[in-house]
Structure 1
Amino acid sequence: MERLQSGVGLIAIFAIAWAISENRRLVRPQVVLVGIALQLAVAAIVLHVPPVRAAFAGLNGLVLALQSATEAGSTLVFGYLGGGPLPFEETRPGAAFILAFRALPLVIVISALAAVLTYWRVLPLIVRGFALLFERTLGVGGPVGLSAAANIFIGMVEAPMFVRPYLARLDRSELFMVMTCGMATIAGTMMVLYATIIGPVLPDAAGHLLVASIISAPAAIAVAALMIPREGLPTGGSLEIASEATGTMDAIARGTQAGLELFLGIIAMLLVMVALVALVDSVLGLLPAVGGEALSLSRLFGWVMRPLVWLIGLPWDEAAVGGRLMGTKTAVNEFVAYLDFAKLPPDALSERSRLIMTYAMCGFANFGSLGIMLGGMAGLVPERRAEIAGLGIKSIVAGTLATLSTGAVIGVL
């Protein structure tokens, strides 16, 4: 019955996308059906083929190695703030853990590593493989396929840079696909960070997050194709991915600089968005309490999300917790949602519900990310600034539906 519930929820998620479509007559059923089939196939292979599952479980070892290496650098630079021996005794467990100095430096290391792998032509080969898969199965053009594939590994602004010369030529539907893929996946830098956060409460966290990002890419294309169907033929073109670095050390330097900007941007956006949400919550707190608890933005979004997380497979009594997590993800960001997820009491969610929520929350669809996307995409293709802004809120909705469908797929399997 639980699997049936998730199966019905999977259909319902795509039905919602169809219901809010701009033009239902132009919807191509093939894209939707293949998108769902790809989600189910990849998830089935990873969850039910032991060697493949073991390979993904091995990613936890890589996460620990990267975390340990990063801590060596942060300890040298920041001392005990970065993970070195404490010169005092903690008053409570975890009191000395400072997010900016302990967890976030990993972003800089991963950025540098990704730049090196791009220069060595390792990452481009992986991305090209996924691009061919999407082109041949979902019928999208090369630029959209490559951008979608790159979004599995890098961020919502970095991925479209691979196809920058083609952005001006994409039609409205294809542009929306590019934006939705950015909202429905997470960057590799953040993937490792989130795995370290939820690792203590979810075995094989790194593998699950990677699979979630892979599964959500075809889901994003399918949902976007439902909401804004394509009218003409897909945009094609010869695509090449090349590093601008002149050597390995130059790649490290460029990656480090890019990682530093991302590091500072994460801190700034996290600070501002949490502050703004707290300000809104303060205003909502002036209203009469509901259910013995003050109103808040995450509670409001949580009420909207509760039926949706119930649809994808959570029991109704656990759907309140799941809905609130999705509400936090939308109102603030998935980083704070995963932090809250890791702090849940053991009996708040069952093992199955924890797994479904891990996949459902694995995406950048939130208002903070919207600001990043609008600024980045408008910089890449300024002549389409107004069009990009007009698609912004829709991309959050589409990205959320895509990750919810991924959670439903895991519930089915």
Structure 2
Amino acid sequence: MDFLGLQSLFGLLVFVGLAWCLSENRQIFAWKTVLAGLIAQLVIALLFLRVPFAHQAMLSLNGLVDALMAATRAGTSFVFGYIGGGDAPFDVTNPAAGFSLAFQSLPIVLVVSALAALLWHWRILPIVIGALSAVLRRTLNIGGALGLASGANVFMGMVEAPILIRPYLARLSRSELFALMSVGLATVAGTVLVLYASVIGARVDGALGHIIAASFISLPAAIIIARIMVPETTQGTSVGDDVPSLEYRGSMDAVVQGTTSGLQLMLAIAAMLIVAVALVALADITLGVLPDVAGAPLTLERVFGWLFAPIVWAMGIPWSETGNAGSLMGIKTVLNEFLAYLALTNLEPGALSERSQLIMVYALCGFANPGSVGIMIGGLTNLVPERRDEIIGLAGKAFVAGTLATCMTGAVVGVVS
């Protein structure tokens, strides 16, 4: 292991130490769960990044992205014409100017959401989630209810996954509830995996495989960080091995409900992007009235780069690259991960080394941002209103836990790459 690998290993210990400093009870440290979670992270990372056949399979998922994008483009061009990617009725002198994020990229969320609902109705997703839940219960010593919802988070998202254990939400211990919230903020929903991969695909080989791997690696990270910050003092809430069924009356009903759910998500993403980009522009305009610093105007990205430089350094980023990497981490944490991935694709060539870029792809893959925290509070309090005060009280801690978990994932990639 070279120096940068040792730097990443040191960062892992730093992030675990930070979680312990923020613990509600420092006298309790679930070292078995922490050790098992760290081993699980390293094994998953080694499998995806070092084992040839698994790495090749991950790279081959780009074909899935291309197929879904082509299928989505067929639908958007039919509905929106050349604005949606169809042939323009005039000569195009600047093809790049004809790209529309709203009408060409975001609609892929609709297609993936409908496909996910179909896969659930056809009992494919329940089998996968059930198997992942069993692995989590046995390796990390968590209850069946938490294991089921945590496994579902990788595919369904932080609002939809808790629906699977709705009858058990009121009975979850404080530690289990916190872990569920932390996992939701440390991972991303399956409905946006392809969207993120399509954004960074031109810059990162095997983008979809890396995004999927990031969620899987962050899953045990979130659980061990949550167990440290809010230790478990009771036995885990158990649930049967059967995965509950969502209410679909048939395949067409699944497509309709999946599309409707995807539409709500797509509109929410579009609205958040408009507001977030506007706020960044407003911040830059405000900072622009201040004197130049180090020969350049102050911008929000530069400020983020300085503030988050120590954090990304702990992941294994060389200090000379921490300004750019820290800026990405700041955008992800304060605004959202989609804007951070867009910023990653807009970096100048050579701004980040290939290793640093890969670390940031993994570290940015999580919902831990203020907007998502608000969505999570709204979803969970609607499902279990009697625990509203507890959910609101834990939300800030879960935001920190989700961020630390994705930082651990970046550091793990730094260790094995």
The TM-score range, normalised by the shorter chain, is over 0.9
**Are residues 202 and 12 of structure 1, via their aligned partners in 2, closer, same or farther at CA, if it must alter by over 3 Å?**
same
Map 1:35-114; keep pairs closer than 5 Å: 35-90=37-92, 92-114=94-116
Q: CA offsets per residue over residues 338-374 of structure 1, 9 Å max, x none?
A: 0010111111011111111100101011111112111
When structure 1 is superposed on structure 2, of 34-43 and 16-25 the one drifting more is: 16-25
Shift of 1:284: 4.3
- Matching residue within 260, 263, 267 for 1:264: 267
- Matching residue within 190, 193, 196 for 1:194: 196
> Is 1:374 aligned to residue 377 of structure 2?
yes
**Are residues 298 and 346 of structure 1, via their aligned partners in 2, closer, same or farther at CA, if it must alter by over 3 Å?**
closer
Paired position in structure 2 for 1:365 = 368
**Are residues 287 and 379 of structure 1, via their aligned partners in 2, closer, same or farther at CA, if it must alter by over 3 Å?**
farther
Paired position in structure 2 for 1:9 = 11
- Distance (Å, rounded) in 2 between the aligned partners of 1:302 and 1:17: 23
Q: 2:362·2:409 contact (CA, 8 Å) conserved in 1?
A: yes
Map 1:330-341; keep pairs closer than 5 Å: 330-341=333-344
Map 1:331-410; keep pairs closer than 5 Å: 331-410=334-413
- Distance (Å, rounded) in 2 between the aligned partners of 1:281 and 1:373: 29
Paired position in structure 1 for 2:139 = 137
Shift of 1:154: 1.7
- Distance (Å, rounded) in 2 between the aligned partners of 1:390 and 1:405: 24
How many residues are treated as equivalent by the alignment? 413
**Are residues 320 and 127 of structure 1, via their aligned partners in 2, closer, same or farther at CA, if it must alter by over 3 Å?**
same
Letter of the 1:75 partner, please give it: S
Partner SS for 1:163: helix
Letter of the 1:264 partner, please give it: L
**Are residues 24 and 64 of structure 1, via their aligned partners in 2, closer, same or farther at CA, if it must alter by over 3 Å?**
same
Letter of the 1:127 partner, please give it: I
Q: 2:8·2:415 contact (CA, 8 Å) conserved in 1?
A: yes
Paired position in structure 2 for 1:329 = 332
- Distance (Å, rounded) in 1 between the aligned partners of 2:387 and 2:273: 28
TM-score, structure 1 normalization: 0.96
Q: 2:312·2:326 contact (CA, 8 Å) conserved in 1?
A: yes
Paired position in structure 2 for 1:255 = 258
When structure 1 is superposed on structure 2, of 23-32 and 316-325 the one drifting more is: 23-32
TM-score, structure 2 normalization: 0.95
Paired position in structure 1 for 2:149 = 147
Partner SS for 1:152: helix
- Matching residue within 307, 310, 314 for 2:310: 307
Q: 1:302·1:328 contact (CA, 8 Å) conserved in 2?
A: no
> Is 1:216 aligned to residue 218 of structure 2?
yes
- Distance (Å, rounded) in 2 between the aligned partners of 1:70 and 1:412: 37
Partner SS for 1:258: helix
Q: 1:184·1:400 contact (CA, 8 Å) conserved in 2?
A: yes
**Are residues 89 and 342 of structure 1, via their aligned partners in 2, closer, same or farther at CA, if it must alter by over 3 Å?**
farther
Paired position in structure 2 for 1:123 = 125
Paired position in structure 2 for 1:31 = 33
Shift of 1:290: 3.3
Shift of 1:157: 0.5
Q: 2:305·2:322 contact (CA, 8 Å) conserved in 1?
A: no
- Distance (Å, rounded) in 2 between the aligned partners of 1:64 and 1:301: 33
Shift of 1:286: 4.4
- Distance (Å, rounded) in 2 between the aligned partners of 1:90 and 1:345: 26
Q: 1:22·1:229 contact (CA, 8 Å) conserved in 2?
A: yes
Shift of 1:282: 4.2
**Are residues 281 and 47 of structure 1, via their aligned partners in 2, closer, same or farther at CA, if it must alter by over 3 Å?**
same
Partner SS for 1:27: coil
Paired position in structure 1 for 2:180 = 178
Q: CA offsets per residue over residues 60-115 of structure 1, 9 Å max, x none?
A: 11111011001000000011111111234455452111111010000000000000
Letter of the 1:214 partner, please give it: F
Ranges in structure 1 where 5+ consecutive residues have no aligned partner: none
Q: CA offsets per residue over residues 246-305 of structure 1, 9 Å max, x none?
A: 111111111111111111111122222333444444444444443344445544443221
**Are residues 394 and 293 of structure 1, via their aligned partners in 2, closer, same or farther at CA, if it must alter by over 3 Å?**
farther
Q: 1:298·1:331 contact (CA, 8 Å) conserved in 2?
A: no
**Are residues 294 and 78 of structure 1, via their aligned partners in 2, closer, same or farther at CA, if it must alter by over 3 Å?**
same
Letter of the 2:260 partner, please give it: Q
- Distance (Å, rounded) in 1 between the aligned partners of 2:110 and 2:255: 10
Letter of the 1:152 partner, please give it: V
- Distance (Å, rounded) in 2 between the aligned partners of 1:17 and 1:88: 58
- Distance (Å, rounded) in 1 between the aligned partners of 2:384 and 2:301: 33
Q: CA offsets per residue over residues 301-343 of structure 1, 9 Å max, x none?
A: 4322111111111110101100000001112100010001011
Q: CA offsets per residue over residues 123-146 of structure 1, 9 Å max, x none?
A: 011011111111111111111111
Partner SS for 1:348: coil
Provide the alpha-carbon RMSD of the alignment. 1.5
Map 1:236-255; keep pairs closer than 5 Å: 236-238=238-240, 240-255=243-258
- Matching residue within 399, 411, 415 for 1:412: 415
**Are residues 89 and 245 of structure 1, via their aligned partners in 2, closer, same or farther at CA, if it must alter by over 3 Å?**
same
Shift of 1:240: 2.8
- Distance (Å, rounded) in 2 between the aligned partners of 1:90 and 1:197: 23
Q: 2:302·2:323 contact (CA, 8 Å) conserved in 1?
A: no
Q: 1:127·1:150 contact (CA, 8 Å) conserved in 2?
A: yes
